[in-house]
Amino acid sequence: RKEVEQDPGPFNVPEGATVAFNCTYSNSASQSFFWYRQDCRKEPKLLMSVYSSGNEDGRFTAQLNRASQYISLLIRDSKLSDSATYLCVVNQNGNKLVFGAGTILRVKS
Amino acid sequence: GAVVSQHPSRVICKSGTSVKIECRSLDFQATTMFWYRQFPKQSLMLMATSNEGSKATYEQGVEKDKFLINHASLTLSTLTVTSAHPEDSSFYICSARGSADTQYFGPGTRLTVL
């Protein structure tokens, strides 16, 4: 079983749509959680951290369920510029980041 | 946000040569830097953790004699791919750890070994 699992997609959605990505992780001792965005042939960029209480940043909402070891990202009112690969990332033992393989989002006009 | 640079951004070399990649934290000091590798359509895989002033910690399956890491200062870590072969062709990305366990990534180095 992979340490961090994501649906690879691609998710093809029209502009303005709401789209949700899910992620599960296997190590119950994982300490912190993130969503990164990676554009084609570029480095990952931090989108947002994920907290148990849930957190929102503009059109983006992240949720964490530690009991189910499940993380989600909701994007509202999708823009063309949201097209990218979204990486679910888990920090183990305070040092090592483990990346999911990513979920591809394509927003079309 | 914090800035991390990598040099070179792209390198093409012949099989058997060695390639050095530099990773610099430009506006903060990083006692810990990380080196990742990403093959096409795959996720980033951690190769090693680079600690300033001490030996790097390599992940299982990564040859320390082939991927030499030096972290001589708080703002610079280097990765040298020795005797590169075509199977080493990949996207190599470094990151530097900032506050709150956040990692800031360099722009990556695309290595092609002919």
pLDDT single digits (tens) B82-101: 999 999 999 999 999 876 66
Of A62, A68, A60, nearest to A30 by C-alpha is A68
Distance of alpha carbon B31 from alpha carbon B22, whole angstroms = 15
User: Residue B110: helix, strand or coil by DSSP?
Assistant: strand
Residue with tokens 């530097």: B96
Q: What percent of chain A has pLDDT over 70?
A: 99
Residue B37's DSSP bridge partners are B45, B92
Find the closest chain A residue to B106 by CA distance: A43
Residue of B31, B33, B44, B59 to mutate, testing the A interface (most A Cβ within 10 Å of its Cβ): B44
- Average pLDDT on A74-102 reads 91
Q: Which pLDDT score is estimated for B72? A: 81
Q: Which positions of chain B have pLDDT values less than 70?
A: 1-2, 99-101
Q: Which pLDDT score is estimated for B85? A: 96
Name the average pLDDT for chain A. Answer: 93
Largest CA distance in chain A: 42
Q: Which pLDDT score is estimated for A94? A: 66
Q: Which pLDDT score is estimated for A15? A: 98
Residue A22's DSSP bridge partners are A72
Residues 27-86 of B with CB under 8 A from A: 32, 34, 42-46, 49
B49 → closest Cβ in A42, A95, A98:
A95
